[in-house]
Amino acid sequence: AFCMEYQKTQGTIFPAPNFNPVMDAQLLGGALQGISCEKDVLIDILTQRCNSQRLMIAEAYRDMYGRDLVTDLKENLSHHFKEVMVGLMYPPASYDAHELWHALKGVDTEEKCLIDILASRTNMEIFQMKEAYLMQYNNDLQQDIDSETSGHFRDTLMNLAQGTRMEGYADPSTAAQDAMILWEACQQKTGEHKNMLQMILCNKSYQQLWMVFQELQNISGRDIIDAQCKQKLFYNNLMFTCCNFSLLVLCVRDKPSYFAYRLYNAIHDFGFHNKTVIRILIARSEIDLMTIRQRYKERYGKSLFHDIKHFASGHYESALLAICAGDAEDY
């Protein structure tokens, strides 16, 4: 039953029916070439098509105008609205590569962004993002992680970036055993235990980990996140800082809840951290954003729609809300 439960996630953006890339390209050309850029047209088209359809529109646009759609968007738009519309035009692997590059090469390494991406993607997605990273930046992602991060956090990211997590496999009989190992590892302070912790979190399937965390709760009598954040149970022996460890655990345990938490955090604790909000909405739009929205409402009382409306404005707000999709009564 759990595996059924585990699979049920839903995005907010689906392939548009009766899709006509040539007509879309024509409408976009008109919107971008007018005296004033018709931003509503851009939103109506680009947020209501899935990623593969947007790429076909870009091809039709090039054939029609001899110009690159992304370049035209960049030249005609500004600020966060530009980031959203350009972000929608990247294939997922290129978008991940772009975000990882900025997270690694910025003034401060954005550790949470690295967890957002590397802890939540499938092996195939990790393989494709590494290829895209090499193509776009002529750098090896793992080498950059190696040089830009340190300590157990680096070891963990390096492990995640290998893309060797077991997939789709869950064995209830070993879940209790894994939970026991995890529980002991959380209380010991040896390098060997840290490695075991890392091995389980980075290599077991998401389905298996879900069961392991259930078992761990039975053993410890409390939630692992609660245990190590409030009781400082894991303190000082973490693979990396307490907060990052919690994020990794939360992400591998339940992605929609994790991203709901990250969005809430970005909106409320960091005065609307635009980059985080944009990245999560775009990256999860075809995977589980509808589920994320449900978890957000359940957990925080207010809807994601409400919070975005409260903090963003103008065409930027309209674009984010359009990606969130859904009917007004959901909010």
* pTM assigned to the model: 0.87
CA–CA gap between residue 50 and residue 71 (Å, rounded): 20
Angstrom distances, CA of residue 263 to CA of 135, 190, 210, 279, 280: 30, 34, 22, 10, 8
Percent of the chain with pLDDT over 70: 86
The tokens of 253 are what? Answer: 């345990």
Distance CA 154, CA 148 (A): 8
Mean pLDDT over 120-140 rounds to 95
SS3 state of residue 61: helix
- Quick one: pLDDT band at residue 232, thresholds 50, 70, 90? very low
CB 315 within 8 A of CB 77: no
pLDDT of residue 57: 97
**Alpha-carbon gap, residue 47 to 171, rounded angstroms:** 40
Predicted confidence (pLDDT) per residue in 169-207, tens digit: 888 888 888 888 877 776 766 666 677 778 888 888 888
Task: Report pLDDT for 121.
Answer: 93
Q: Is the pLDDT of residue 131 over 90?
A: yes
Question: 157 near 145, Cβ under 8 Å?
Answer: yes
Task: Give me 29's structure tokens.
Answer: 């050309």
Nearest to 178 by CA among 216, 206, 227: 216
pLDDT at 127: 97
Q: Structure tokens of 251?
A: 């992400």
Q: What is the 3-state secondary structure (H, E, C) of 122-151?
A: CHHHHHHHHHHHHHHHCCCHHHHHHHHCCH
- pLDDT score of 119: 92
Which position has the higher pLDDT, 239 or 161? 161
Residue 145's pLDDT is what?
Answer: 94
Q: What pLDDT is recorded for position 270?
A: 63
Q: Which pLDDT does position 235 carry in this prediction?
A: 38
More confident of the two residues 218 and 64: 64
Tell me what pLDDT residue 310 has: 86
Q: What is the pLDDT of residue 97?
A: 96
d(Cα 263, Cα 223) in Å, to the nearest integer?
22
Q: What is the pLDDT of residue 243?
A: 59
Which whole number is the average pLDDT over 11-32? 93
| Percentage, residues of the chain above pLDDT 90 | 52
Higher pLDDT, 78 or 237: 78
Domains located in the chain, CATH noted: 21-89 (1.10.220.10), 92-162 (1.10.220.10), 172-244 (1.10.220.10), 256-317 (1.10.220.10)
Angle between helices 51-65 and 21-33 (to 10 degrees): 70
The answer to which of 57-66, 76-85, 248-257 has the lowest mean pLDDT is 248-257
The reported pLDDT for the residue numbered 4 is: 37
DSSP alpha helix (H) spans, 47-164: 51-65, 69-76, 79-89, 92-105, 111-118, 123-137, 141-148, 151-161
Question: pLDDT, tens digit, for every residue of 245-299?
Answer: 678 888 888 899 999 999 998 898 766 788 999 999 999 999 999 999 999 999 9
Instruction: Please state, in angstroms and rounded to a whole number, the distance separating the CA atoms of residues 68 and 85.
Output: 14
